[in-house]
Amino acid sequence: MIVATLQELIGLLPRHGRLMGLDLGEKTIGIAVGDPGHRVATPVTTIRRSKFAEDARQLLKLIDERQIAGLVIGWPLNMDGSEGPRCQSTRQFARNLAKLRDLPMAFRDERLSTVAVTRDMLAADLSRAKRAKMVDESAAAFILQGAFDSLHRG
């Protein structure tokens, strides 16, 4: 079930249901998981995309292993705030996943998430190889952490 707001998503969860953040790219899916109290998002892994069935299989395995109760999916708006083809692709991915698992999902603006994460990695003097390996899952954590922060601000 795809919901409109993060507040609706939280309202559908068990008292301390864990959330998973997704950064859906064309080639990869970055994955992060939050703690049960919705305070801290942690990068977990990156799935190299292939066909939807295989992507979903890997994702659902992680959802089951980590006892995930809901998803926060990065919403790739254009810089002017409009929706483009990437939003359509993300919406379709969420719809297809919802057919396989009745799991509440909400979208969260992801503009500049990869830029912010890359900037932080450069400041930490991480090598290009380490940045390439970690950027997608870190962007997913950035998206999920932003959701947590906005929820706790009210």
What's the pLDDT tens digit per position in 25-84?
999 999 999 999 889 999 999 999 999 999 999 999 999 999 999 999 999 888 888 888
- For strands 105-109 and 68-75, give the pairing: parallel
User: With pLDDT > 90 as the criterion, what percentage of the chain qualifies?
Assistant: 53
Band of residue 132 on the pLDDT scale cut at 50, 70, 90:
low
User: What domains are there in the chain, each with its CATH number?
Assistant: 6-153 (3.30.420.140)
Q: Which residues pair with 31 in a beta bridge?
A: 22, 45
Q: What is the pTM of this model?
A: 0.85
Residue 106 has pLDDT above 70, yes or no: yes
3-state SS track over the chain: CECCCHHHHHHHCCCCCEEEEEEECCCEEEEEEECCCCCCEEEEEEEECCCHHHHHHHHHHHHHHCCEEEEEEEECCCCCCCCCHHHHHHHHHHHHHHHHCCCCEEEEECCCHHHHHHHHHHHCCCCHHHHHHHHHHHHHHHHHHHHHHHHHHC
Structure-token pair, residue 141 = 């954590």
Residue 133 has pLDDT above 90, yes or no: no
